[in-house]
Amino acid sequence: MSTLPDEIWLSVFEMAVAFSPDFIDLCVLRDGRERNRTLASCALVCRSWAPLAQKVLFRDISLGVVTVPPREESGDSDHEDEDDYWSDEEDGGRKPTGETAPSLWSLIATLRALRERHSPIPDNVRALHVTLGRTGGKMEGNGVRALIEEPYVNHCSPTDVARAVSLCPRLLHLSITIGATDPETDGHNSTAFNQEDFDLMGGTLSQLRQLSIRVMSNFEFCEHWLTMPRWTAGHQLIRVTARSLLFLQMEVYSDIDDPDEPHFDDVRELPDLPRLRSLVIHQPSYLLSRAVSSPSRAPNLEIAQTYRHTIPVQVKHLRGFTGGWAALRDYPRLESVDLGFYKNPNTLAAMLDMLPRTIREVTINSKALLELRGMYAVDTALRNATFLESVVIVHEAVGETFVRPEFCLPVRVVYKVPWPMADIVSCQSV
């Protein structure tokens, strides 16, 4: 526990409650888990802090995993619905170790009770992270690894998600992960919303500003008895929020290098995205690729993070760039570019020599600066790029210190932990 005086912590709570951003930074959300644990611990010290702490802790809600009790070899089980938890050997021998639905049901009951008491807490919820279907495996690198002996988690139904969303009238960010389904027990497409669900969510979704959609396209996890995830729920949400979205993220996490596109039942074109400013896409659906590839359909798009996908030429900030220097010439308004993909110092220096003169800030990876010769090559290239104003260095190595180099330009070092599944419920029990 902190040795800071009680008055300081009370001030922290009051400022946190007063802070209500119009736009949520995903990096801040990822870093907020530890902050929430600290604030929760502090709230236990002094009862008078509890109301303030609740307002802060309910800003960003992720669901915990309720552990499934170990299966008994003999004798009666205390669990009434044991068959719902344990699969037969003919289903691949998979044994679910947890589920998130009880956490969501508890959240719904809590929000309803708070609303009945006219509490302001439901109005303070800004971000909600939920998962549909079934997910499994351990999260590693930019994909997912799932072995047959590893656990998996059963998640929520679309109707339950709709109930939770409807109780958060000022929700800004909805993060939804789409998992696999069991056609025998879950139905044909149990991760899709129906019209009644959208009627429930209508008021909240009409003002939603940020939408994150992730698809867990895990072949090893699904190949024996599950149906691969479908895009349907993601496309449904984009259709009803298209006019209000400022940020859109759609990514597929796969355990194979070149996954097939996840199944989806509808082929109708997605609507235009007139207010969209920020876009993150990795192996997006064909329909979304078409929706964001034209400047006329996403006229206000300024920030894009993408890998080998076509995006409108009007973007000003490009993240995750993997193309050659000639590709940068296609973006006449580009002001900043992320060259973290280039870890070879000579290749990076060559890219810096070819940067368009519109660029003011460049992001590079610390791995390109490990050797003195490489650092000298990068420094020379930066000196020649007289139009640049600043450099951002991303250092991803965990537990290693990084000495900021002395370049001719202002340098900012960002310490980043590999995050690809940070907002997705872990398969480890809590």
CA 344 to chain centre: 29
For residues 214 and 245, give the distance between their C-alpha atoms in angstroms, rounded to a whole number: 17
Amino acid at 392: V
430 residues of the chain, pLDDT tens digit each: 455 566 666 666 666 655 555 555 555 555 455 555 555 555 555 556 666 666 666 777 777 777 655 555 444 444 444 444 344 433 444 566 678 888 889 889 989 998 999 888 888 888 888 888 877 754 443 344 434 445 577 788 899 999 999 999 999 899 998 877 776 666 555 778 889 999 999 888 988 999 999 887 665 666 666 666 778 888 999 999 999 999 999 887 765 554 455 555 567 789 999 999 998 888 777 888 888 888 889 999 998 887 666 677 888 998 877 777 777 888 888 899 998 888 898 888 888 888 888 999 999 998 888 888 888 889 999 998 889 999 999 887 666 677 888 888 899 888 774 443 333 333 222 2
Tell me, what's the pLDDT at 243?
A: 93
Is 208 inside any structural domain?
Answer: yes
Please state the separation of Cα 11 from the chain's center in Å. 30
The verdict on 206 and 230 lying in the same domain is: yes
Q: Other CB atoms closer than 10 Å to residue 203's CB: what's the count?
A: 11
Q: Tell me if 125 is assigned to some domain.
A: yes
> Domain limits at 385?
316-430
Q: Are residues 370 and 426 in the same domain?
A: yes
Residue 416 included in any domain: yes
Q: Are residues 206 and 334 in the same domain?
A: no
Residue 216 shares a structural domain with residue 342: no
Are residues 63 and 43 located together in one domain of the fold? no
DSSP state of 28: H
Do 257 and 362 belong together in one domain? Answer: no
* Pick from 410, 418, 377, 372: nearest CA to 393: 410
Shared-domain flag, residues 102 and 128: yes
Tokens of 129: 């992270």
Task: Determine contact, residues 28/390, Cβ cutoff 8 Å.
Answer: no
Specify the pLDDT at position 309: 64
Quote the longest CA-to-CA distance of the chain. Answer: 77
381/420 same-domain check: yes
Note whether 136 and 285 are same-domain residues: yes
281 and 200 belong to one structural domain: yes
Task: Show which of 302, 335, 368 is a domain's final residue.
Answer: 302
- 140 shares its domain with 249: yes
Tokens 């509808």 -> residue: 266
Does some domain include residue 9?
A: no
- Whether residue 153 is found in the same domain as residue 277: yes
| Strand 66-67 relative to strand 98-99, pairing | antiparallel
Residue 320, in any domain of the structure: yes
Beta carbons within 8 Å of 396's beta carbon, 6+ residues apart: 365, 366, 367, 416, 417, 418
Q: Indicate the number of domains in the chain.
A: 3
**pTM passes above 0.85:** no
Classify residue 17: in a domain, yes or no: no
pLDDT attached to residue 427? 29
